[in-house]
A and B are shown apart, each in its own frame.
Chain A
C-alpha cells in the first residue's frame, strides 16, 4: 500500500531569490497529483524538496506524518527507501547493464544476491512491457523512449509507496508519450502508491492526473480535479491549460 505525502508551508530560497513561497500540497495513496506550471516556476525544486534531494529553507515534508527533513538519518533512509522516481532524462547509469540499472537498489542498497536481483529486474521490465532480451544491453543501445521505460522499471522495482515523475513525457514522440502515460497510470493503480508528477505537457497531465495543481511564482494558485481543467474559474490556469500568449501570465523576455 501507498503512503501519504504532505508538503506543509514549504519555502525554498537561493540567496535572495525565493523559488517556493509557502507551498502546501498533499497526495493520498492511490491518488495521482500533477503539478503544472511554466518553466522556472519552481516545479523541479518542489519535487526535489519532496523527495529529499534538496533541503527546504523552511516548512515540512511529511511522509505518513513523519517529517523527512527533520528525521534522523536512519528514519530518513527508511522513508526514502519507499520512494521511486522517474527522472526527466531517464538518468540511467550508463556504465551498467539494463538489468543492473533496474536492480540497482536491490543489489547495492538491499544486499540482494545478483541472481535474485536479476530475476526481480526482469520481472519489473516485464511490467513495463519489455522482454528479457534487453536485460544485458547497455542504456546507450536503447532509444530515448525505451530508456524511459527502463527508468520506470527501476523506479517501481522495489514496490515504492510514493512515486515521483519529473516531466515523464518530455522529449518523447506522441505515441511513446502515450505509452509512458499509460504505464504510469497502470503502475500507480497496481501499487496503490501516491504519485506526484510535474509536467507542462497538458496532454500527459490530463491522462495521468486525478487532481491537478498549478504552481505560479512559487505559490500553488489553483488545485482541483482533472475534469475541472477546462473550466477552472481561474484566469491563470485557463491561460496555461489552453496555451494562450494573452492573459495574466506575462512571459518576460529576459529571465
Chain B
C-alpha cells in the first residue's frame, strides 16, 4: 500500500501541478478571448471608450513624460562614462536613441502604466464585483464585457503606442539635454546623429511592443478585478495581483518580442 503510494506520489504531484498551471493560464486566456470578442464585434459603448482613453492616455502623460525624460538623461550619462573607457563617447546620441525607442521607452512607460492603470482598473472593477454592480449590470441586459472590459482593452491598446511615441521623444530629449548642457555635445550635431542613425523599424518595433503591453496591462487589471472575491481584502489583493502579473508579463513579452524582432530587423 505504502509502496504504491510512494511510486505514484510524484505522478500525482505532477498531475496536480499541470492542472494548476492550466487553471492559472486558462482563466486569463478565456477571459482575454471573451474580452477580444467584445472589443471587435458590435455593439461598442463609445462614451465608455472615450472615458477610458482620457483616463489611460491623457491622464498618464505627466507620469510617462517625466519618467522618460529622466531615463534618457541618466542613460546618456551612463553611456558617456562607459563609452569613455574605450574612447566611444561620440556614440552617446546613437545608443540613447536606440535604447529608448527599442527598449526603455516601451518598457518603462508600460511599467508606469501597470502601476497606474492596472491597479486602478482592478480596484474599480473589483469594488463593482464586491457590491454586486456587475451582477446588477447583467440583470439589466448589459454585457459587462462590452461595457467594462472592451473599452479598457481598446483604450490601452490605442493609447500605449501614442504614449510611447511621446516617451521616445522626451527620452531622447532628456539625453540631448544632459549631453549638450553637461557633456559638451553640440546640439545640432547631436540631433543630426540621432536622426541619421535611427531606422523606422527601431521606432515601429517599440510601438508594436507598446500595443502588446497595453493589452496585457488592461487585461490583468480587468481580469483580477472581475475575479475579485470577498470585500475590501479581495479588492486590495486584486489590485496587487494586477500590478505584479502585468509587470511580469511585460518583461516576459518584451523578451519574446525582442527575440522575434531581432530576426526581423
Contacts and interface: CB of A to CB of B under 8 A. Distances in A.
Contact of A89 (B45, B132, B141, B147): B132
A51 B132 CA distance: 14
Interface in B121-159: 128, 131-133, 135-142, 147
Interface in B198-243: none
A87 interface: yes
Interface in A74-125: 77, 80-81, 83-85, 87-89, 91-94, 104-105, 108-110
B206 to A, nearest CB: 34
Contacts, number: 49
Contact of B141 (A77, A91, A93, A94): A77
Contacts of B131: 89, 91, 94
Given A108-B45, A108-B147, A154 B140 contact: yes
Given A89-B131, A91-B132, A83 B45 contact: no
B139 A53 contact: yes
A78 to B, nearest CB: 9
B142 A85 contact: no
Interface residues of B, number: 14
| Interface size of A as a range | 20 to 34
B135 A105 contact: no
Interface centre among B137, B138, B140, B142 (most CB of A within 10 A): B140
Contact of B139 (A83, A92, A108): A83
B135 A109 contact: no
A105 B45 CA distance: 13
Contact of B142 (A52, A91, A108): A108
A91 B135 contact: yes
Contacts of B140: 104-105, 108-109, 154
Nearest to B124: A95
11 contacts: A52-B138, A53-B139, A77-B141, A80-B141, A87-B136, A88-B132, A89-B131, A91-B131, A92-B136, A93-B136, A164-B139
Interface of A: 48, 51-53, 77, 80-81, 83-85, 87-89, 91-94, 104-105, 108-110, 154, 164
Given A51-B139, A93-B128, 12 more contacts: A77-B141, A87-B135, A91-B136, A92-B136, A93-B136, A93-B137, A94-B131, A94-B133, A104-B140, A108-B45, A108-B142, A109-B141
